[in-house]
Amino acid sequence: MYYSQYLSPIGTLLLVGDGENIHKIVFPDDRRPTEPDESWQSNGSAFTELKRQLDAYFAGTLKEFDVSLAPAGTEFQRSVWDALANVGYGTTCSYREIANAIGNPSACRAVGAANGANPIPIVIPCHRIIGTNGTLTGFAGGLLTKHWLLSHESGELSLFPFEEWSAPK
């Protein structure tokens, strides 16, 4: 497994992959470890295309990623992540809408858990999922990061500088 770090507007992201597929993107404040595993090898060239696409995304010129992904998860989690990939740039939907999209309308909480376990955020856009009442809900990168990403995609970023916004109490 290879890793590289990517300096983004929301902090340094840890990229993990096998040279062909992306396996993880880890936020700096993520609940999961942000340090590479001792068995992984540093290899920035393994992530050239992902970094190019992340650059374009953060510049506001890329709306949909096109990189090979290999997220590890259960069949249910992968079905949720597939549904997340259909939530368009600059839009949001609720956990209930995702549960309906995968044909399991009573699985809202399980959808929330699968959303939270998404190993490849940003590319698989779990930040676009909000509460049924329109509120921001938990996010592995933190609510500030989620708010920043949604503001970036909606074109309202200048109203919400990353370092100045704080989550409502």
Kind of pairing, strands 2-8 and 11-17? antiparallel
Nearest to 121 by CA among 101, 149, 154: 149
**What H or E segment, with its residue span, contains residue 11?**
strand 11-17
126, 129, 144, 149: the active-site residue: 126
Q: Who's near 124: CB < 8 A, 6+ residues apart? A: 69, 71, 81, 84, 85, 118
Is 93 marked active-site? no
Alpha carbon distances (Å) from 122 to 4, 61, 94, 97, 105: 16, 14, 17, 19, 25
Positions marked catalytic: 126
